[in-house]
Amino acid sequence: MYDPTVARLTYRALLGRRRAAILFVLPALLLVIAAAVRMFAGADDQIAANVLGGFAIATMVPLIGVIAGTGAIGPEIDDGSIVYLLAKPVKRPTIIFTKLIVAIAVTMVFSALPTFLAGLILNGNGQQIAVAYTIAALVASIAYSALFLLLGTVSRHAVVLGLVYALVWETLFGSLVEGARTLSVQQWALAVAQKVAGGDAVTSDVGLPLATVLLVVVTTAATWYAGQKLRTLKLAGEE
């Protein structure tokens, strides 16, 4: 199910000069914000939770997921270079699974690691806040990568659709409409983090059992459907 050649090509595409520069911006900004907050406000558990929850989990992780998830396959479909990959003797679900693994790895590195470092800067992992939000970033990276890889497979406007989901649905509707939070990857990830953190530093509007089920179902379904959609892409010689 994992093809090293496909993985290498995907890593090369995702970590090219321009895309890598974009990937570094948000983590760097998070660390700068964390350092500034610690300098002016000192070590405060609630402030640390607010910064990590409000910027790292709500903004940075989904945006990096959009870049990595859609970038793992979308550009190849848009410019037609995917036909060269599909012409190889590699099963199409294998292509999707390999690209998903790469997208998850990239999203985790550029989101979970900076989240942990920011947490240490903000309050030295008091109440396990740094670890809790790092786990939330790791969990969210998996679901976001699967969702946005699917969007990259089915739509030429995957980046726009991904931004709409991440910034409009989760951030705007999630803050205004209580029921919308149930369909939020952010809330599912926070439910896992809530189990790790001490006290009330991390909260979620979704219970842990439901969040776990939804994370598994959405990730699995998105990966399977992306593989099915890739099967329907016909090469010129197959018409």
Question: In this structure, are residues 150 and 77 in contact, taking their beta carbons and an 8 Å threshold?
Answer: no
**What pLDDT does 105 receive?**
96
List, for residues 122-168, the tens digit of each pLDDT value. 999 888 999 999 999 999 999 999 999 999 999 888 999 999 988 88
Ranges of the chain with pLDDT below 50: 235-239
Question: In this structure, are residues 184 and 53 in contact, taking their beta carbons and an 8 Å threshold?
Answer: no
Question: In this structure, are residues 158 and 148 in contact, taking their beta carbons and an 8 Å threshold?
Answer: yes
**What pLDDT does 175 receive?**
65
**What pLDDT does 174 receive?**
66
Assigned token pair, 36 = 């500034």
**What pLDDT does 198 receive?**
66
Amino acid code (one letter) for 215: L
The contacts of residue 209 (CB under 8 Å, 6+ apart) are none
For residues 60 and 33, what is the distance between their CA atoms, to the nearest angstrom?
Answer: 13
Assigned token pair, 162 = 């991904």
**What pLDDT does 152 receive?**
92
Question: In this structure, are residues 182 and 167 in contact, taking their beta carbons and an 8 Å threshold?
Answer: no
Within 10 Å of residue 112's Cβ, how many Cβ atoms? 23
H or E stretch at 49? helix 45-51
- Local structure of residue 78 (DSSP, 8 states): H
Straight-line distance from the first to the last Cα atom of the chain, in angstroms, rounded to the nearest whole number: 27
The contacts of residue 15 (CB under 8 Å, 6+ apart) are 23, 106
pTM, to two decimals: 0.92
**What pLDDT does 60 receive?**
94
